[in-house]
Structure 1
Amino acid sequence: MSGVKIALDVFGGDLAPNVNIDGAISILKEGKFDLELYLVGKERVIEKLLHERGFSHEKLHIIDAPDVFGMAEKPSAVLRKKDTSLYRTAQLVKEGKVDAMVSAGNTGAVLAVALFVVGRIKGIERGAIATPIPSKKGFTVLLDCGANAEVRPEHLRDFGKMGYHYARLLGKTSPKVGLLNVGEEEEKGTKETKAAYELLTEALGEDFYGNVEGRDILYGDVDVVVTDGFKGNVAMKAIEGAAKFISDVLKSQIKASGLAGILGGLLLKNAFLRLKKTLDPSEYGGAFVLGVKGIVTKAHGNSNALAIENAIKVAYEGVKGRLVDKLQEEFWGD
């Protein structure tokens, strides 16, 4: 496949539209990807921002959308606001005019357009937000990260199957899937998690690792961790907070140690830079909304230009890796 077409919701996100424009420009300047970008939003504003940056490109297109869906609006309202940049971005995927979409907008609204505009894959009842979390062995895919506060055991089974294929797309040859629980023993957990354990065992066989605890997300002994959206979102935000805490403590302790600390910090500068890069959410760009009939990539609401650029790369790899096709084959075969 060549010429991947990706639509970007230019007015989605806390720092929109500037960071979205800058992220789009950056990836096109990089020139490593065979893609066309469709910038969706207020046409005159987009043209003005591109002109200010002195940038034009034959593979950059503007799709006018006169309205903006706010970060604090009720998510279900997006389905009535068809002139917003978010809705029209999803519509381009639905109509097959693009292969994927990227948005840093309202999470609930992105999920709504993914499920009800792009549409669910046959056989999948619930979509899930899947996020790669840095671990000792590279990354662990965590899902669901906020799409479904409450789920049934069969939903967790489906999340496991979707997460398995996503991990393979990311380079894991034989991913191991774990079920987030309060202990590793099979008998631990609620009635729902016990039922999910049985369903995951049946669906994944030896690829199901069993129950895992919160610490296992970072240890990396499993490649995928499955849970409901409430616990998944809490876990993800706790990990992000811990990473920022560690970084802040290191900086303050180095400063407090005087000249010796500063010299030691300079000697370890490269190690600190690598640590920062590993823990920086911007480096991972975006999370897939799995279970829908198109590549939908959700970038963090406070994404900077680097995060938007990387979210576009995530969407690109999803198209190239035929992720949707593989999920359709998996679930249609049930």
Structure 2
Amino acid sequence: MRIAVDAMGGDNAPSEIVKGCIVAAKEFSDITLVLYGKEELIRQEGIEEFKNIEIVHTDEKILSEDDPVRSIRRKKEASMVKAAVSVKKGENDALFSAGNTGALLAAGTLLIGRAKGVDRPGLLATFPSLSDGDTVFHMIDVGANADSKPLNINQYATLGSLYSKRVHGKQAPTVGLLNNGTEENKGSMLTKEAYQLLEKNPEINFIGNVEAREILNGAADVIVTDGFTGNAVLKTIEGTAISMMGLLKDSIYNNGMKAKIGGLLLKDSLKNMKDLLDYSKHGGAVLFGLKAPVIKTHGSATEEPVYYTIRQIRDMLQSHVLEELIDYFEHNEEQMP
């Protein structure tokens, strides 16, 4: 298994990207990590002893402020572009980046290409269920498409169910449609039409509408929505988790000795709570519906999230979920628009 890594993507690149790769290379001898970026900067992190880390030198990188499509077309020598091309050619099996999200979506769609029958790829993110810290749920789309059609949401349900079955071992994962109420007639024209398609989809275990306040409590194994709504929910969850931990920290440090003693006694419990709220430990967001795995982690990712994302990619490749997805859509022409 060979994973192409955009070593220059993200706020902390290449240092934290390379550090995370080193941790993964130590643990997983069955993967080869191919790092695309400035060779002299990558080598500064001490990769010489790892036979399963390779470097492909690049002089360019795509910046966060770059126009996504234009940068993919003009910066042919950029680390993200060369990594994507290597996957298209079959030299590597998957693409991983912490860089410009729009550019990565463009690279995946324009360079690697959509799987036959998939109208629009969607971003799938994995979250811990707060009702049971040992289980997770998936939400798709969390930002690939601001404007979606009912067909897209229906396809996301099939994609998400396949991922949950093959990567996380769910036998019959439940699928819920994110909406502003649980009644069938609730929502916008988009969600009402999507509901009708989801009800008729024989490949999923559809349980109806799910409200946003219930998703973290494990209301469904797969939550489907349009990319605009999904991205807003993703950032709300992320912001709420950060704010909660900040409020707890302030309450402990700014309310006298009793609060500090209480905080010390609760230290282990608070750490468990922080770990539970940290969805980055479940890997990055998968751009699902392409001919090869493309995975995006947070732009501010450090060593630990990088490691977890590589572990996630390895699990994906081992599960052969993508091959099953491609086979399903190729043999179900009615799924095509």
Q: Does 1:67 align with 2:64?
A: no
For 2:224 and 2:54, the matched residues in 1 are separated by 38
Question: Which segments of 5 or more consecutive residues in structure 1 lack a partner in the other structure?
Answer: none
After the TM superposition, which of the residue ranges 10-19 and 76-85 deviates more from structure 2?
A: 76-85
Q: Does 1:42 align with 2:38?
A: yes
Deviations 1:1-24 (A, max 9, x none): xxx111110000111111111111
Deviant stretches of 4+, over 4 Å: none
Q: How does 1:244-255 map onto structure 2 within 5 Å?
A: 244-255=242-253
Deviations 1:182-227 (A, max 9, x none): 1110011122211111111111477001111111221102011111
For 1:61 and 1:95, the matched residues in 2 are separated by 17
Kindly indicate whether the alpha-carbon contact (under 8 Å) linking 1:133 and 1:217 is maintained by their aligned counterparts in 2.
no
Q: Does 1:303 align with 2:301?
A: yes
How many residue pairs get aligned? The number is 327
Question: Which segments of 5 or more consecutive residues in structure 2 lack a partner in the other structure?
Answer: 333-337
Kindly indicate whether the alpha-carbon contact (under 8 Å) linking 1:102 and 1:298 is maintained by their aligned counterparts in 2.
yes
Quote how far apart the aligned CAs of 1:259 are. Answer: 2.2
Kindly indicate whether the alpha-carbon contact (under 8 Å) linking 1:140 and 1:224 is maintained by their aligned counterparts in 2.
yes
Amino acid at match of 1:66: D
- Partner residue, 1:162: 159
Quote how far apart the aligned CAs of 1:54 are. Answer: 6.5
Q: Does 1:316 align with 2:286?
A: no
TM-score (norm 2): 0.93
Secondary structure at 1:215's aligned position in 2? helix
- Partner residue, 2:256: 258
Q: How does 1:1-334 map onto structure 2 within 5 Å?
A: 4-29=1-26, 31-47=27-43, 49-50=44-45, 53=46, 55-77=48-70, 78-135=72-129, 136-137=131-132, 138-168=135-165, 169-204=167-202, 207-334=205-332
For 1:5 and 1:227, the matched residues in 2 are separated by 32
For 1:299 and 1:247, the matched residues in 2 are separated by 21
For 1:134 and 1:252, the matched residues in 2 are separated by 25
Amino acid at match of 1:248: G
For 1:7 and 1:139, the matched residues in 2 are separated by 26
Quote how far apart the aligned CAs of 1:46 are. Answer: 2.1
Amino acid at match of 2:42: I
For 1:191 and 1:297, the matched residues in 2 are separated by 31
Deviations 1:74-105 (A, max 9, x none): 11111332110001111111111111111001
TM-score (norm 1): 0.94
For 1:116 and 1:13, the matched residues in 2 are separated by 21
Amino acid at match of 2:206: F
CA RMSD across the alignment: 1.5
Secondary structure at 2:212's aligned position in 1? coil
Deviations 1:94-130 (A, max 9, x none): 1111111110010011011111111100000100000
Kindly indicate whether the alpha-carbon contact (under 8 Å) linking 1:131 and 1:145 is maintained by their aligned counterparts in 2.
yes
Amino acid at match of 2:40: R
Amino acid at match of 1:62: I
For 2:11 and 2:109, the matched residues in 1 are separated by 23
Identical residues among aligned pairs (%)? 37
